[in-house]
């Protein structure tokens, strides 16, 4: 009788080889992006509405009227956000949406290559699979907003911290001048890493070039207009803070209602206490972020290294920006990819803490978000009770994620870490400079990558 005992082990080995194969990863990348692109162009709802109706209008108005948002008029976004919007018009307005999707796919491909360490460190493969899963769960909106450009740039910046802090600073600065939220990540990095001077040099250099360029183009007057434009917004229907009033609009429509703001181009709430809630939202964000940064400073004074401190800190700050925000746009889910990819990649090298819980929570948040937008957004606007339950569950998971991150961060403060036991030069997969390969390891705390023969691993 033939012994078939070893077959399952062989099958597991073949499966492990397959899922860590760069060919399989890139194949999945293409399939996911083409599927999301198809949904964006022909799926339910209007997932590319911002691209086809807003971004294209801004660009066409600039070319035809010679009046550019951010340069000649105030704008809701920082000035570099114009760059991808103009680039999407390279082949004309008739194919603007398709060109935008192609542009996002190119930027995502660069980010994906770095996440998977260019196929040279197989420990990074599960991180790459998770990012694809997040995009798939979130749906076409993952490709249909300006955040689709910001998130992969910020991911690459964070993953370059261990080996190229100046480059990391440049990338995070560029991401901030596209959509402002990565500025909080910059603050976290400046506290958490030892190479903060080199990182700050990159941030300052990139920001300096952008500011000078804006002034040379005549946009100095409106360089920071996005600050005032955002602070004037009302309470959006999908925001966590707005959840109470969404339920109130179901049971008391005569008291609380939903309206469309033609200036901000979003659906907002009107009712008793709404204006107060919207007014305190921004200060709440500031207080929450400041408190988290204070905890981080205390942790660094106790010797907690970046590998232990930065992932939960970045996650806590990013989630706080969402939980206390008066805006609850679906694309905010893409922000979570930055700290969670960082946490998963750090853990893949055998450093830091497990990020399995936030990774699972983020997938659930993304899936619930896609149900609401674009699939059943009209029902959300009509205060459908089933969709309100979905909205409430999504917003509650955001709170759970924030609590997890804060507890993890405080845990780093309480325990501390012996710096002599941590190699801060090797706490992330070596994505920059290139030239490192790794053998497959069955241990979650894999050993350090082995140098390529004839090359200096440093």
Measured CA angle at 377 (ends 132, 144), to 5 deg:
40
Whole-number Å distance between alpha carbons of 247 and 229: 28
Q: Looking at the domain assignment, is residue 450 inside a domain?
A: no
Q: Looking at the domain assignment, is residue 57 inside a domain?
A: no
From the centroid of its chain, how far is CA 153? 9
For residue 450, pLDDT over 60 is answered with: no
Domain of 322 in residue numbering reads as: 68-86+149-427
* pLDDT the model gives residue 426: 77
Note the pTM of the prediction, 2 decimals.
Answer: 0.90
Of 83-92, 290-299, 314-323, 407-416, the one with minimum mean pLDDT is: 407-416
C-beta of residue 150 within 8 angstroms of C-beta of residue 78: no
3-state secondary structure of 267: strand
Q: Looking at the domain assignment, is residue 53 inside a domain?
A: no
Measured CA angle at 284 (ends 281, 290), to 5 deg:
145
For residue 236, pLDDT over 80 is answered with: yes
Q: Looking at the domain assignment, is residue 302 inside a domain?
A: yes
H or E, element range at 279: helix 274-301
For residue 315, pLDDT over 90 is answered with: yes
* pLDDT the model gives residue 233: 84
Q: How many domains is the chain partitioned into structurally?
A: 1
For residue 153, pLDDT over 70 is answered with: yes
Segment 279-298, tens digit of pLDDT: 999 999 999 999 999 999 99
Q: Looking at the domain assignment, is residue 50 inside a domain?
A: no
Q: Looking at the domain assignment, is residue 210 inside a domain?
A: yes
Q: Looking at the domain assignment, is residue 120 inside a domain?
A: no
Segment 133-146, tens digit of pLDDT: 999 999 999 999 99
**CA distance readout (Å), 111 to 26, 46, 53, 128, 344:** 12, 26, 27, 10, 15
pLDDT band at 122 (very low <50, low <70, confident <90, very high): confident
Please name the residues in contact with 55: beta carbons below 8 A apart, sequence gap of 6 or more: 85, 88, 96, 100, 146
Mean model confidence pLDDT for the chain: 89
* pLDDT the model gives residue 9: 65
Segment 212-231, tens digit of pLDDT: 999 999 999 999 999 887 77
Segment 62-91, tens digit of pLDDT: 999 999 999 999 999 999 999 999 999 999
297-322 burial: b if 16+ Cβ within 10 Å, else e: eebbeeebbbbbbbbbbbbbbbbbbb
Q: Looking at the domain assignment, is residue 162 inside a domain?
A: yes
């Amino acid at each position: 009788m033939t012994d078939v005992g070893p077959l399952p082990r062989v099958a597991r080995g073949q499966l492990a080889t397959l899922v860590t194969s760069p060919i399989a990863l890139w194949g999945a990348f293409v399939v996911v992006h083409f599927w999301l692109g198809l949904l964006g162009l022909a799926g339910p709802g209007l997932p590319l509405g911002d691209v086809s109706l807003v971004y294209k209008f801004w660009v066409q108005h600039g070319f035809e009227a010679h009046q550019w948002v951010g340069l000649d008029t105030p704008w809701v976004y920082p000035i570099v956000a114009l760059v991808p919007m103009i680039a999407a018009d390279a082949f004309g307005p008739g194919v603007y949406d398709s060109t935008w999707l192609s542009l996002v796919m190119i930027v995502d491909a660069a980010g994906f290559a770095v996440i998977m360490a260019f196929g040279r460190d197989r420990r990074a493969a599960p991180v790459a699979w998770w990012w694809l899963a997040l995009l798939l769960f979130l749906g076409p909106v993952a490709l249909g907003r300006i955040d689709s450009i910001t998130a992969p740039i910020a991911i690459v910046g964070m993953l370059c911290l261990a080996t190229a802090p100046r480059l990391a600073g440049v990338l995070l600065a560029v991401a901030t001048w596209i959509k402002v939220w990565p500025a909080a990540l910059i603050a976290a990095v400046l506290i958490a890493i030892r190479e903060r001077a080199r990182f700050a040099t990159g941030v300052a250099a990139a920001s300096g070039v952008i500011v000078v360029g804006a002034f040379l183009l005549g946009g100095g007057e409106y360089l920071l207009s996005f600050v005032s434009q955002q602070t004037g917004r009302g309470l959006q229907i999908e925001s966590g803070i707005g959840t109470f009033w969404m339920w109130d609009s179901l049971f008391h429509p005569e008291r609380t209602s939903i309206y469309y703001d033609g200036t901000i181009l979003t659906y907002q709430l009107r009712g008793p206490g709404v204006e107060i809630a919207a007014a305190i939202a921004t200060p709440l964000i500031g207080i929450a972020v400041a408190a988290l940064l204070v905890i981080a400073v205390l942790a660094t004074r106790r010797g907690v290294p970046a590998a232990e401190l930065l992932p939960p800190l970045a996650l806590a700050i990013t989630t706080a920006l969402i939980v206390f925000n008066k805006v609850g746009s679906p694309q905010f889910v893409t922000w979570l990819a930055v700290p969670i990819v960082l946490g998963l990649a750090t853990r893949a090298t055998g450093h830091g803490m497990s990020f399995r819980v936030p990774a699972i929570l983020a997938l659930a948040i993304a899936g619930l978000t896609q149900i609401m937008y674009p699939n059943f957004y009209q029902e959300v606007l009509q205060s459908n009770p089933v969709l309100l339950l979905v909205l409430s569950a999504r917003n509650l998971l955001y709170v759970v994620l924030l609590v997890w991150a804060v507890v993890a961060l405080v845990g780093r403060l309480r325990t501390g870490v012996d710096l002599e036991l941590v190699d801060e030069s090797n706490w992330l997969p070596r994505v920059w400079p290139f030239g490192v390969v790794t053998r497959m390891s069955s241990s979650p705390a894999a050993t350090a990558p082995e140098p390529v023969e004839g090359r200096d691993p440093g």
